[in-house]
Chain A
Amino acid sequence: MNNKTIKNKSNIKALNGGYAMAEALRQIKPDVMAVYPITPQTTIIETFAKMKADGLVETEIIQTESEHSAMSATIGACAAGARAVTASSSQGLLHMAETLPVVSGLGLPVLMCVSSRALSAPLNIHGEHGDVMAVRDFGWVQIFGEQAQDAYDNTIIALKLTEMAGVPVMPIMDGFHTSHTTERVEVLDDEIVTSFVGQRQAENALTDQKNPITIGTLALQSTYFEFKVDQAVAMQKVKTFYKKICVEYAKISGRKHGLLEAYKLKDADHVIVMMGATAGTVKDTVDTLRAQGKKVGLLKINLFRPFPYKEVGEELAHAKNIAVLDRAMAFGSFPPLFQDILTSMQSAGSKKHDIASYIYGIGGRDTMQSHILKVFKDLENGEISKNIKYLQ
C-alpha cells in the first residue's frame, strides 16, 4: 500500500482495524447487517451497532442467535435484493461453514468482514489465519490486509467487487494485530464512498413478485457439475474485476492496492512471501538487511482467492531462494500459501528455485525481527529445509 494524502478528500483518524471496517461499512450503507459477537471481530459489529443507535446508519441490524443464523439471514436478505453484510472470526466462521458454499453457489453478492483468529482446541482467541484457511476453497474471494488502513480500503473494494462479480468476498485482517491496533487511517468523505460503491442493482430478487424465482434448487448428476464449472469460471473473472476496482479506488483515495505488493523485490535474491499484518515486521527487517547491502525482499499476497499464480510466478522469477511464511498450521501436509507458491513457480516453468516453508504467529505468538532475520539467514546460507520450520 502506498500512502499518499489527497488534501480535502480525506480525513485522518486514529482507528483500529475493527473500527476502520465499521467506518467503511457505515459509508457503504448496507440495507441489512446480521451480527453475532466473537472476539476479535466484535469491535466491528458493536461499533456499527452504536452508529445505528446514534442515527448514523439506517441499516436493519439482525442480532442473530448464532453465526450459522447470521450468515443464513444474510443469505435471505441478499436473495431478497438487499445489500447484505456480516462479520465473523474463528469458531464463528466455522459455525457458518455449512452456509458459506451456499452463498457462493447461489452467486450472492455478500460481504463478510473477517478478523482472523486461531481455532480450538485448545481455546485461543488470538490472531492467525487458521480459520480463513479452513474455508479458502468455498468459493469466496479472500483479500488479506496488513494495516487498519487496508481494513478500511479493502472493505470498500470488497463491496464493489462482490456486487460486480456476483461472488461473495471476505476482506481479512489479522485478529488483534490489525483489528485492535490503533493506527493512522485516512477516511474518505462519505459522498465519495457512496458514489464509488453506488446502489445495489439486484437481479432475480425474491421481492420481485412479478417474476417469481426459485432459489436454491436441487441439481442432480445431470446438472450439478455444470453449476460448479460455471462457478469456477465466475471466480476466474474476479481477478480482472479486482484489478479494475483497485485502479478506480486509487483515483479516489490516492492509495494503490493490487493483487500483490512487491517490497524491494526487483533485484532481491532472497525473498520472503507472506500475507497480512506481519508484513510490517518483514519490511523493517528487509530495510535493516538492505542497509547492510543484502539483496533481500518481500512479496506480500493481497488477493489470496482467486490466487494470482501467473503474477506471482513473474514476480519471483528472478529470486534465488524463497521462504514462504504461513500463519496457519497444516497437519499432514505443507501449509496453504506454500503450496500455492510452489504451484505458481511450477506454472511459470521455473525449476531453479529452492523454496522453504515456515509457519509463524500461531495462536497470536509474536513474530519478531529476530525470527525474520533467521529466515533470511537460512536463505542466504542455502539452508532450505525439506520440512516445515516453525518460528516459535
Chain B
Amino acid sequence: MNKKLTEKLSSGHATCQGCGIPAIVRHVLAATDEPVIIANATGCLEVTTTIYPYTSWKVPYIHSVFGNAAATAAGIDAAQKALMKSGKIDKPAKIVCFGGDGGTYDIGLQALSGALERGHDFLYVCYDNEGYMNTGGQRSGATPFGANTETAPAGETSFGKAQQRKDLMEIVNAHGIKYLAQSNVAYIHDLKKKAKKALETKGPSFLLVLQPCTQLWKFPVSDYVAVGKLATETNFWPLYEIEDGKYTINNVVKNPKPIEEFLKTQGRFKHLFGEKNKERIVEIQKTVDANAEKLARKAQIS
C-alpha cells in the first residue's frame, strides 16, 4: 500500500472486508501535509480503529459520543485559538471530523448545524452508507426510498423505507459555508481533489461521500467500487461541489443508466423486483430524474 496513505490511519484495523471507509479516510487525510486532529462520531470507523489497547490512528484522535463530533471539533478549534494566543502552541492543526450518516444526518445534525453556523475552522466528512450499519443495518435519514432495513423492513404490507432520503447537501449549503461537495469512494480522484479544496478552505467545509456497505446493502465484498460507480452512472449519486454558492457537476452523466442497474446489484432492493413492487422502481427512477434535473438547473443558474 502507498506509504503516504497509511501515515495517518495505519493498515491494522478491523473494518469489514470490502469496506470503503478506510479508503475515504486515507485519501482525505493524504490531501494535506499540515497537522490534523481527528474528531470521530461513534460508528463503524470508530469501533474498528480504536479497540483498546490498540489504535490504528497515528495522528491525534478523539471520539466522544454519537452525535457530537462537530461540537467536539468546535471545542478543539476554540482551544487552539486560545493556546495560540497564550503561546502554548505554534500552529493550529486542521480539525477533521468523520461521521457516518446516522451521526451526521440524524443524531449529530444539530451539533453540525451549530458548528457550521459559528464558522469553526474544520472539515466535516460524512461517509454515507445509508443506514445504521454499525448496529446491524437500521433505517436512517439517509436510507433511500424502498430500501429494506432492519427497522423499516420489507414485508407483506411494506416495501421498505417509505420516505425519501434527506438532502443533506442542501441542508449544509443553507449555512452559507464556502465549500461543500458530494463525492463517492468509487471515484477516488474526485474525492482527492475535493478533499484538497475542503482542507484548504478557511472556516467550515463539508464532504458527503457515498460508501457502499457490502454487509447491509448486501452485495459481494469485491464489488464496492462497482456498486459505487453504478450509483453515479445512474444519477442516483451525482458528483458535484458548491463553491461560494456556485454549483458544479463534476461528472456529467450524458446517458444515465436505468436505476435498475444500480438497484439490482444489492440485496436491500431485491424485494422491489417482485411483481407487487414494480411500481416502486418506476417511482425511484422518476425521483432520480427529477433530482438530476434540479441539480443541472442549479449548476446552470450559478
Q: Which residues of A contact B (CB under 8 A)?
A: 31-32, 34, 58-60, 62-66, 68-70, 72-82, 84, 98-99, 102, 206-209, 212-220, 223
Contact = CB atoms under 8 A, between A and B. Distances in A.
Contact of A98 (B53, B65, B82, B88): B65
A193 B60 CA distance: 33
Contacts of A69: 68, 71, 74, 110-111, 114-115
Interface string B59-84: 11111110110011111111111110
Given A62-B74, A77-B76, A82-B83, 11 more contacts: A72-B68, A72-B74, A75-B64, A76-B74, A79-B75, A82-B82, A99-B65, A206-B76, A207-B79, A208-B60, A212-B58
4 smallest beta-carbon distances between A and B, as pairs? A76-B75, A65-B114, A73-B75, A72-B68
Contact of B75 (A63, A65, A77, A219): A77
6 contacts: A31-B86, A65-B111, A72-B74, A80-B37, A82-B82, A207-B88
Interface residues of B, number: 47
Contacts of A77: 75-76, 78-79, 82
B47 interface: yes
A74 B83 contact: no
Contact of B118 (A63, A218, A220, A223): A63
Given A214-B50, A218-B50, A81 B79 contact: yes
B231 to A, nearest CB: 30
Q: Which of B40, B82, B117 has the most CB of A within 10 A?
A: B82
Contacts of B136: none
Contacts of B47: 218
Contacts of B215: none
A82 B64 contact: no
A72 B111 contact: yes
B113 interface: yes
A100 to B, nearest CB: 11
A80 B79 contact: yes
B63 A216 contact: yes
B67 A206 contact: no
A99 B46 contact: no
A31 B74 contact: no
Contacts of B117: 65
B52 A219 contact: yes
B39 interface: yes
Given A31-B83, A218-B50, A223-B52, A72 B110 contact: no
